[in-house]
Structure 1
Amino acid sequence: MDETDHDTVARLRATAHPVRLRILSLLTAEAMSAAEVARTLEITHANASYHLRQLHDAGELVVESEEKIRGGVAKRYRYDATREVADRSSPVDDRIAYARATAVEVERRLLDAGPGSGSSSDLEAWVPVEVWRRALDLMHEASHLLHAEARPADTPETVHVSATTNAFTMTGGLEGDAARWVPRRDAGQEEGR
C-alpha cells in the first residue's frame, strides 16, 4: 500500500487518542449517543460529540440509529470491529502516535485492574513464517471473539476485561509477500455481527 494513503492515515490519527480508544471500546458492546458516552466517561457532552464526530468521519463508527429528542436528533453510534477494513499500514510516525495513545489507555486500565486471571507478554524474536501466521490467526480469532461477545457495562454474569495486542513484522528476514498474512476465516468465527 502507498504510504500516503490518506484514508488509512486519517483512520489511524482518529484513533490515536486515549479518549477515542475508550469510546471505541465502549461502543463495541452497545450503540450510544453523545450524551450517554459523556455520562459514562465523565466528560462533557461537547467533548463526547467532538470525539464521536472525528471517529465517524474517519469511518471508525457507524450510526446505528437516530432518535428525536427535544426537537433535535440524537445519533446512536456503534463500533463494529468485525467489519472489513483496508490494510492499516501507514507511516511510522502515525503508528507511533497510535502506540503512545494505546499505552496511555493501557496504563489507565492497569490502575483499575482487579484480582483474577490475566496474561501479559512481550517478545522480539525470529520465528518461522508459518508460526508467525498461526500466531496472528490466533490473536485475530481472540480479538474477534471478545469484540463479538462484548456486552453493555454491568451486565450480570460478565467480567470487565482489557485486551490489547500489537504484533508486526520487523526489518530483516522475510518481508513483503513472503511474510504477508491474511486472516483465515474459521467456521466458528461470527460473520458480520
Structure 2
Amino acid sequence: MTATDPVLRALAHPLRLRMLTLMWPGPLSAAELSRELDVSHALASQHLRRLSAVGLVELAEERDRRGGRERRYRTVHGSPLSDRRDGTPLLAGTLAHNLRERAGRRAPDSEGVTVDGELWVDPQVWQDVRGRLAALAAELHAAARPPHSPGTVPVGIGVMAFALQEEARPEGDGRPNPAGSGPG
C-alpha cells in the first residue's frame, strides 16, 4: 500500500476545501473562518495549520487585535485540484460532500446549471471543452471577493470532468464496440 500524498490528504477534507475557497479572494484569520463556517476557533486553527503545513495557504499579514496578534492567511493561488489523477476517488468524495452541503443552501428560485453525463465525444471536442471549463473556473475564481462583500452574491461551483476508461465487456454481449476498439 502506498502512502497518500499529504497535499491530497489535506484537500480531501470538506472543511479544508471550503476554507481554501473562502481564502481565495483575500486573507482570513482562524477567528473569521470559524465564524463563517460555524465551527470552533480551535477547529478552524487546526485545519489552518494543516493547510499551511502542506503549502496550500500562506501567512498574508499579522496585525494587533484586542491585545493580541491576529494572523490572516490566504490561499496560495494555483490549482492543486486540477488534473489530480492520483486521488480522484478521494477528491470526488470531498466534492460530492460539498455539493450536497451547498445544494441544501441553494437560494430558492435561483438560476443555476446542473449537468451530469457519461458521453462519447471526439477527442478534440473533449480537449476544447476541458480547456473552456478550466478557463471558466479561472474566470470565476479571479472575480471572487471576500465573504459578504457588498454587491456580491455567494455561488457554489464544483466541477470534475475527466475521460473515462472503457469498461471491459464480455464478448458477444450484443452491444456494438466503438469505432477503432476492435471487432464489432
For the criterion TM > 0.5, the same-fold answer is: yes
Q: Which of residues 21, 27, 45 is equivalent to 1:25?
A: 21
The question of 1:98 aligning with 2:98 is answered no
Per-residue deviation, 1:146: 0.9
- For 1:51, which of 27, 30, 47 is the aligned residue? 47
Contact 1:65 1:77 in 2 (8 A): yes
2:14 matched to 1:14?
no
Structure showing greater relative contact order (alpha-carbon pairs closer than 8 Å, 6 or more residues apart): 1
The corresponding residue for 2:135 is: 141
Candidates 108, 120, 129, aligned match of 1:126: 120
Percentage identity across aligned positions?
35
Aligned residue in 2 for 1:36: 32
Separation in 1 of the partners of 2:100 and 2:79? 29
Separation of aligned partners in 2, 1:67 and 1:149: 26
Within the candidate set 101, 105, 113, 1:108 is matched to 101
1:163 and 2:149 are equivalent in the alignment: no
Rounded to whole Å, the distance in 2 between the matches of 1:74 and 1:17 is 25
In the other structure, the counterpart of 1:74 is 70
2:147 aligned to which of 147, 153, 174 = 153
> How large is the Cα RMSD of the aligned pairs?
2.4
- CA contact 1:66–1:73 (8 Å) conserved in 2: yes
Distance, in Å, in 2 between the alignment partners of 1:145 and 1:133 is 18
CA contact (8 A) 1:12 1:95 kept: no
Shift of 1:73: 3.8
Question: What's the TM-score, normalizing by structure 2?
Answer: 0.79
The change in CA–CA distance for 1:87 and 1:150 in structure 2 (over 3 A counts) is: same
TM-score by length of 1: 0.76
Distance 1:24 1:134 in 2: 28
More helix by share: 1
Contact 1:14–1:54 (Cα < 8 Å) also in 2: yes
The equivalent residue for 2:177 is none
Match for 1:25: what amino acid?
A: T
Q: Give 1:47's aligned amino acid.
A: L
Shift of 1:158: 1.6
CA distance in 2, matches of 1:165, 1:23: 17
Specify every segment of 5 or more residues in structure 1 that has no aligned partner in the other structure, as ranges: 174-193
Secondary structure, in 3 states, of the residue corresponding to 1:29?
coil
- Specify the structure having the higher radius of gyration (Cα): 2
